């Protein structure tokens, strides 16, 4: 694992290792396997950020399941949310009467998840659960229940394991955060 990533002079350091992520992902997949036994849930990946976590969760899910994807508008080049969401790709499957498991990379303000839940509710699913690798509890602006949380983290900008900065760094195998020293100007 790289011990630092330098982006335009900003230094990012590891926050979660590949091993920590792998262990937690298997725990969540085991829990989902128990909770959805015999239910053939549809895993809904939220593109692009969740692709890596999504594939690991689904790979470790025991039992029948289906997969589909939603794509929402992204932050673009900015590090903070634009405050509005648009749907770039809708689901292709029928969700009436089905158990849905939404898989997110990170819940920050919660706007994206709120948007997805509102969208899906109109189509009568049997149940909707939300799984997120990361949650920033102090940033959440909506009263949402994230049913399965990989890690609760401080409200810092992070990259790697699917998460981008200006579309790059998604392929890092660990999660990196802007270094404290860097922020304190050291």
> What residue ranges bind ligand IMP (CB under 6 A)?
49, 75, 81, 104-112, 157-159, 163-164
What DSSP element (H or E) covers 10? strand 10-16
Closest approach of Cβ 150 to ligand IMP, in Å?
13
What DSSP element (H or E) covers 107? strand 99-107
In what order do the strands lie in the sheet containing 99-107? 87-89, 66-72, 42-47, 99-107, 127-135, 148-152
143 is catalytic: no
Q: Residues 108, 118, 143, 181: which is the catalytic one?
A: 108
In what order do the strands lie in the sheet containing 158-159? 5-7, 10-16, 175-178, 158-159
The footprint of Mg ion on residues 99-118 (CB under 5 A) is 105
Residue 125 partner contact from Mg ion, ligand IMP, none using kind-dependent CB cut-offs of 5 to 8 Å: none
Structure tokens at 157: 């900008």
Q: Does 49 bind Mg ion (CB under 5 A)?
A: yes
Residue 81 partner contact from ligand IMP, Mg ion, none using kind-dependent CB cut-offs of 5 to 8 Å: ligand IMP
**Interface contacts to Mg ion, rule CB under 5 A:** 46, 49, 105
Q: Which residues does the annotation mark as catalytic?
A: 108
């Amino acid at each position: 694992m790289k011990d630092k990533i330098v982006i335009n002079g900003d230094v990012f350091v590891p926050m979660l290792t590949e091993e920590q992520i792998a262990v937690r992902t298997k725990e969540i997949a085991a829990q989902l396997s128990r909770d959805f036994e015999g239910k053939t849930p549809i895993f809904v990946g939220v593109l692009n950020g969740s692709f890596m976590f999504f594939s690991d969760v689904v790979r470790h899910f025991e039992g029948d399941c289906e997969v589909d994807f939603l794509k929402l508008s992204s932050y673009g080049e900015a590090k903070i949310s634009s405050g509005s969401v648009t749907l770039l790709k809708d689901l292709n499957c029928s969700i009436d009467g089905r158990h849905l498991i939404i898989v997110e990379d990170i819940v920050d303000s919660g706007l994206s998840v709120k948007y997805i839940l509102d969208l899906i509710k109109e189509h009568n699913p049997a149940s909707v659960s939300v799984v997120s690798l990361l949650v920033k509890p102090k940033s959440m602006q909506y009263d949402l229940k994230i049913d399965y949380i990989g890690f609760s983290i401080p409200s810092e900008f992070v990259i790697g394991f699917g998460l981008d900065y200006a579309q790059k760094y998604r392929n890092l195998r660990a999660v990196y955060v802007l270094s404290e020293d860097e922020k304190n100007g050291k």
